[in-house]
Structure 1
Amino acid sequence: MSLSPEQQAEIDALRANPQQTLRTVAPGMEKHLYLAHPVLDHGFVRVIDYMGDDAAICQAARVSYGKGTKSVQNDEGLIRYLMRHWHSTPFEMCEVKLHVKLPVFVARQWIRHRTANVNEYSARYSILDREFYIPAPEHVAAQSRVNNQGRGEVLQGDEAARVLEILKADSARCYDHYEQMISQDGQQGLARELARMNLPANIYTQWYWKVDLHNLFHFLRLRADAHAQYEIRAYADVICGIVADWVPYAWRAFEDYRMNAASLSAQMVDCVRRMLRGEQVTQENSGMSAREWREFQDIVGL
């Protein structure tokens, strides 16, 4: 992980001067404030600010449910009910602002989650650092033979070394040319906004990313999944740990009803009911395609 001296000094100063407040604070989140959690080789995630906690979710729900709900349901039970029945608005009452340092190709995946506020480091005004993501050998893999958008077997020996050397050499060469194009050593040089086009997608960028808890859960459900690309999953896994400390009741409900749950189609539900009645159900009489039938088998453990 690479923090600049200025960033580290800012973190040290902020953590050394805690402020009094009348607002609700989440003790689990306070310990994460400003600290940089390392990700990949040069990246990090750190919490800049947050709003709300588990109680804020319940407070919002009880506004619409009416006075007196708390006497019949505790907070955790209410949160689990909300998650189980897809009542998403109360979760939007919690927000978090993250400072993330990540490779550009990961940022391009991340930005597809459009229900957030983003402010990215501008290479029009500033010069990007010479920092590139180079995967560890155990993550250098060939194209999957069964998944067109994923990786398969890990490369070994000379082949792995060849690929890694290309990645390192190309990154260094592109950055050398970037510096030469914007050089001011007696040259007019190229504008930064144009010179940046020559940089590779594995160079690191930074941004502030602010999102409410409902949309953050949607991000984590997709990007912390085992099928997600490793590099963005590494960031999602770190954020999962932060969220678990921030809103523990909501996190446990999210794990139970989203992360570790399964969605069944109408045909799948019908097949489960027929199986429970003792019927012999096959792909041919299930009403499902061969691919959907295989997915159904994985879900129910056939």
Structure 2
Amino acid sequence: MSPNKVRYLLFFQYFGTKYSGVVRVPETQAVLGVENYLERAAQKLRPVGKVTFSISSRTDAGVHAICNSAHVDIERPPDKPSFSEDLLVKALNFHLMPEPISIIKAIRVSEDFHARFKAISRKYFYRVVTGCHYTDLPVFERNLCWAASESHLDIPRIQEAAQFFVGTHDFSGFRSTNKDTPLKSPVKTLLQASISPSTSLLPNHNSNLQFWEFTFKSKSFAYNQVRRMTSALVAVGLGHLTPQDIKLHLEERRRPVFPRTIIAPPSGLFLKEVKYDEEDMKSYTTESRRRSPGDT
């Protein structure tokens, strides 16, 4: 890599409702991806050549991220110093306005660092609300949760069922496939599957509403796995499935069947964090700064 080119690991967040997903799509499309706007902002920094982002975790249209990550190489002209981490964050955020996308942090890393393959875990949570119909939701919540039912959920049954997801399993019954999604191994190791009480974004919300967060952690997930696991657990909480049904469908690698079988909508899904090995990150950061002293 050119001595004037620096690789950065960027952590960023976005409100996903208005985008086709996180990954870049052709600029001719009416609805663009978050990556399109990230690359537009980076090009306004006047780098040498075209800047491309390598996204760590793909999210679909309507899905949000509290923290996603990507690596990017930025080369500046020979007479310009490389960007410091803080300056890069400020400059990119300036050029991202008014989009609901924000860079949280930048870290200089070595030229062989890869945001996707170096990630050791990813954590998602899904916001579910019960006690109302979608049309009764506060307007500020309508793209940030799933109004799953007017009935309340049996939380102990959900907690029992969720534990069957933990560990290494073939999740063929809890993923989606389509012509645009390459078939990857359905065998995944889930490190966490839990449900906990949550709150509304509005302090004085309707007391009949109950908010819950379904949290899942793994190194990687199959396509739509989190949304399908969530809908199955909600079905358990409503009495349409039993915890043992979840175990059975995992073992038989077939999709659960219950009344109004659905995949939970994208609006309630959030990518919460992408984790990297701390020691690995420290060594990369030290190496990159040693390689380019004085640039920050």
Report the TM range for the smaller structure's normalisation.
under 0.3
Give the structure with the larger strand fraction.
Answer: 2
TM-score between both structures, scaled by the size of structure 2: 0.24
Give the structure with the larger helix fraction.
Answer: 1
TM-score between both structures, scaled by the size of structure 1: 0.24
Specify the structure having the higher radius of gyration (Cα).
1
